[in-house]
Amino acid sequence: MSLIRRKKILSFLGKTLSVLGLSLVLISCSNSLPDYSRKISSFVPDLEKTDSLNYSNFQWAKEKYPNECRWEKLVRIIDGDTIVTEKSGKIRLIGIDTPEIKSPFTEEEPGGKEATVKIREILADSEKVCLIHDEIGDQTDKYGRSLDYVFSENGLDINAEMLKNGFARWYPRFPYERKKEFQSYQNFAENKKVGLWKK
């Protein structure tokens, strides 16, 4: 074997061993480094930490209103989560709960008057309302009231507005389609410290 060929072989072996040695060093170092890998979900901020809502996540109202409306004349507003219409009688806004106002059956709770004032304000210009039943929830409650999502004449989503403005709490009991959406609206109101969450 010639001297030149022997030098080329030795040079090649030297380079190969250098690469292998460097690889071993990197592997040993990587085992000692902390694991900084994170799930993608950990980079998405929790709603509790944000001051805005991503409405693209909530398409229910766009899909249902106004195609599935039962339009009825609004007769009166009882409190923050109950209204009366000409045809269906008492309507309980599904998925939300507002503090009670004083009546023969209930004691007044903090925030009850404010919630009632707010829903009256929202519906002030509506002679009629759109009512939509939930597809998976009950259609009436134990008192015989119709359970509905309520929209004003100009398309305002009343159940959602009461939650986003902090005048209602989302209702965790019983199944209904918009449960996660409504919980998100309450979280938003709590973070903004509006309505019931001012203190």
The active-site residue out of 72, 100, 114, 161 is 100
The active-site residue out of 72, 145, 178, 181 is 145
Residues whose CB falls within 8 Å of the CB of residue 172, separated by 6 or more in sequence, listed in order: 179, 183
The answer to whether residue 68 is catalytic is no
CA atoms of 168 and 183, how far apart (whole Å): 11
The answer to whether residue 169 is catalytic is no
The answer to whether residue 92 is catalytic is yes
The active-site residue out of 92, 114, 169, 181 is 92
CB 43 within 8 A of CB 86: no
CA-based nearest residue to 151, from 85, 196, 54: 85
Among all residues, which ones are annotated catalytic? 92, 100, 145
